[in-house]
Amino acid sequence: MSASNIHEDQKYIDGLAQNNSFVIRAIYDKFAPKVIGYVCKNSGDREQAEDLVQEVLLVIYDQAKTKNLQLTCPFDAYFFLLCKRKWLNILKKSSLQEVTINEEIVSANEPVQEPVLETETFATRQSLYEHMFQKIGDVCKELLTKSFELDSMEEVAKALNVTYGYARKKKSLCIGKLTKMIQESPVYQNLKT
């Protein structure tokens, strides 16, 4: 992606990644009320809306931190569409409840669709990785935790009372095992198509 495609609202993304309170406040001031209004009009309450806003901001933060998220559309539209789609998913899942959708704010803005889908795919991948990590087995879990918590593999070897060579090799094999489990999951296959 060329630098010229990056929208000036990238500053919100950067501000989130830097945990900049001024920027976060600005987001709450300018963009959150619209989301809260939407949720309240569509079978939700204020508390649920606030949780939704926090969850979406956290996903954006994660994507900014790990994937160097670069925004190519206005933040307002991007953020609102993410929240809206996530809320509709939540409603769909809790289908016991009767749902009324008040579709007033329609976002037919083309350039927004792509970054929104990218962020959604990122979020799905994140939760898939997390889910598989929980299933990987205790030995790998401990070794990987230490490998990324500690500064060097020498320290990891020492902490686990194994040789440096073993720790290094085991780290790659554990990540390998994790990627295999991810690749074999239906969610991953779905994402690919």
Residue 48 as a binder of other proteins (CB under 8 A): the answer is no
Residue 74 as a binder of other proteins (CB under 8 A): the answer is yes
| Distance (Å, whole) CA 130 – CA 141 | 11
Residue 190 as a binder of other proteins (CB under 8 A): the answer is no
Q: Identify which of residues 84 and 171 has a Cβ nearer to other proteins in the complex.
A: 171
Residue 81 as a binder of other proteins (CB under 8 A): the answer is no
Q: How far is the CB of 122 from other proteins (least distance, A)?
A: 10
Residue 131 as a binder of other proteins (CB under 8 A): the answer is no
Return the structure tokens found at 24: 């976060």
Residue 114 as a binder of other proteins (CB under 8 A): the answer is no
Which residues have a Cβ under 8 Å from the Cβ of 35 and sit 6 or more positions away? 49, 52, 53, 79, 80, 83, 84
Q: How many CB atoms lie within 10 A of CB 188?
A: 17
One residue of 5, 6, 25, 94 binding other proteins per CB under 8 A: 25
One residue of 5, 6, 45, 66 binding other proteins per CB under 8 A: 66
The tokens 């559309």 sit on which residue? 73
Q: From residue 182, give the alpha-carbon distance in Å to each of 117, 141, 172.
A: 20, 15, 15
One residue of 69, 82, 83, 144 binding other proteins per CB under 8 A: 144
Q: What is the chain's length?
A: 193
Q: Identify which of residues 53 and 116 has a Cβ nearer to other proteins in the complex.
A: 53
Q: Identify which of residues 101 and 189 has a Cβ nearer to other proteins in the complex.
A: 189
| Distance (Å, whole) CA 128 – CA 191 | 11
Q: Do the beta carbons of residue 185 and residue 128 sit within 8 Å? A: yes
Residue 41 as a binder of other proteins (CB under 8 A): the answer is no
Residue ranges with strand state E in the chain? none
Chain residues that interact with other proteins, rule: CB under 8 A: 8-9, 11-12, 14-16, 19-30, 32, 46, 50, 53-54, 57-58, 61-62, 65-67, 74, 76, 125-126, 129-130, 133, 144-145, 147-149, 168-169, 171-173, 175-176, 178-180, 182-183
